[in-house]
Homo-oligomer: A and B are copies of this chain.
Amino acid sequence: MEWIDSLRKLLKEDQVTVNPTELERHSRDESYHTPHLPDVVVFPENREEVSRILRFANDREIPVTPFGLGSSLEGHVIPYKGGISVDFQRMNKILEVRPQDMLVRVQPGVTRSQLNRELKKYGLFFSVDPGADATLGGMAATNASGTTAVRYGVMRDQVRDLEVVLSDGRIIRTGGRAAKSSSGYHLTGLFVGSEGTLGLFTELTLRVFGIPEAIMAARAVFPTVKQAVNAAVSIISSGIPVARLELVDALSMKYLNEHSETRYPAAPTLFLEFHGNEAGLKRDVVFAEELAQGEECQGFQFETDTKARAKLWEARHHLAYAFIHRSPGKRLMVTDVCVPMSELAGAVEHARHALNQEGMEGGILGHIGDGNYHVLMMIDPTDPRDVDKAEKINASIVEYALGRGGTCTGEHGVGVGKIRYLRREHKEAVDVMMSIKQALDPKGILNPGKKLPPR
């Protein structure tokens, strides 16, 4: 392709590749979605290069798909229309830590664990923790969350400012360093979660928190999933400021034990964590335990030392990999609805019913303090019956959630996998979203085929 030669002239030699291994690596994510090769992969090192690439692509109407670490779960980074895959791995610097402002400025290729290693020196931490050690640029693009959102908020709550390169190469900043603002339109919130369809991020200013004075983690085992969910709903409704509140069902506990070499009971379990000062936290824990006992929990098993606590949460974070690694050749399909708390018990029960009805094995787990839960299924993407079953289950779960004020995706994003539900969830508001897309990317070069239905 002639244009790839022209593209090479914009960057250094080692920044542009058509190496088949690299093309293949940029053709897929961690999901079951069908891979598709880009025509070329580029590795920009600064905002000016990203701007140059976009100006080039926009002039020639070449599709551009941003790529972090490829840990997306709905095909976000798959370049279905070919074109340029923009890999941010070389833009991975932590630019500035501002402890007094509780802010950090980073490039988009920095991963969350890389950031937390640095922040620890300042007694600070970054709260958002999806299962994967994703890049912060990717996490902002999907509005990712994880286990701590119930207390600290989702990715959108942490992004104070973005540097964004627009489709035509213009560079803007969306926010500032002040803790709040009523100036201008809230572009930061608009670009967070836009999945690379409105612009590419070249810098992020993120809110961070002080490491709490005291932390207590606990497991609580219940006779049934329903009782675990009911206990979670009670804890949230009581106003206890729990920092983490995760459900893991019996099957998932079994896989977790196998993968992480733990010996937790293979029964429906809540993983909890409390942050605060020593005195306040003790009170919170006692109150939460009482509520759990009301649902026949036999009491909290505390992970008192730092190591056991780290082990607990590492096991929880690796749960998707526990499913993936025991099913070689299969691919992960994971649902991601989020429902109002009053609908959560019914929704989780319905999900189990949907699995049983299709005779599909699947684990149920999630961030149920937010009403967000996942069904994990391992499927053979080349077997149409397998795919069909999983899609039926997903559709049934999404329909249930949308009928009750919920959303088709709590934290993974739309990618290609959820587009079919957009109109059902947002109705006429989809047209407004499409007007905004049209205004900011008139030629439609930015991650085409993702996030919104076709025009």
* 4 nearest A-B residue pairs (beta carbon): A280-B280, A189-B189, A177-B405, A210-B239
In whole angstroms, what is the CA distance A429 to B249 when docked? 46
From A233, A279, A418, name the one whose CB has the most chain B CB atoms within 10 angstroms.
A279
Q: List 16 A-B contacts (CB under 8 A).
A: A154-B180, A157-B157, A172-B426, A172-B428, A178-B370, A178-B405, A178-B406, A179-B338, A179-B370, A183-B426, A185-B190, A185-B451, A209-B239, A210-B238, A212-B239, A280-B284
Please give the distance in Å from A444's CB to the nearest CB on chain B: 15
Contacts A176-B425, A339-B178, A371-B178; A186 near B280 (Cβ below 8 A): no
In whole angstroms, what is the CA distance A163 to B156 when docked? 21
Asked if A278 is at the interface (CB within 8 A of a chain B CB), the reply is: yes
In whole angstroms, what is the CA distance A414 to B181 when docked? 10
Question: How many copies of this chain?
Answer: 2
User: Which chain B residues border A372 with CB–CB below 8 Å?
Assistant: 178-180
Which of A7-15, A85-93, A96-104, A382-390 is found at the contact surface with chain B? A96-104
Chain A residues near B (Cβ < 8 Å): 98-103, 142-145, 149, 154, 156-157, 166, 170-174, 176-187, 189-190, 192-194, 198, 209-210, 212-213, 233, 237-239, 276-284, 287, 336, 338-342, 370-372, 401, 404-414, 418, 421-422, 425-433, 435-440, 451-452
* Contact of A184 with B239 in the complex, beta carbons under 8 Å: no
User: Which chain B residues border A437 with CB–CB below 8 Å?
Assistant: 185
Q: Which of B404, B435, B451 contacts A439 (CB 8 A)?
A: B435
* Contact of A432 with B172 in the complex, beta carbons under 8 Å: yes
Please give the distance in Å from A351's CB to the nearest CB on chain B: 15
User: Which chain B residues border A183 with CB–CB below 8 Å?
Assistant: 407-409, 413-414, 418, 421-422, 425-426
Q: Which of B177, B182, B237, B405 contacts A100 (CB 8 A)?
A: B237
- Nearest B residue to A406 via CB reads B178
User: Which chain B residues border A238 with CB–CB below 8 Å?
Assistant: 210
* Contact of A170 with B428 in the complex, beta carbons under 8 Å: yes
Q: Which of B181, B185, B451 contacts A194 (CB 8 A)?
A: B185
User: Which chain B residues border A154 with CB–CB below 8 Å?
Assistant: 180
* Contact of B409 with A187 in the complex, beta carbons under 8 Å: no
Q: Which of B176, B239, B430 contacts A405 (CB 8 A)?
A: B176
User: Which chain B residues border A166 with CB–CB below 8 Å?
Assistant: 432
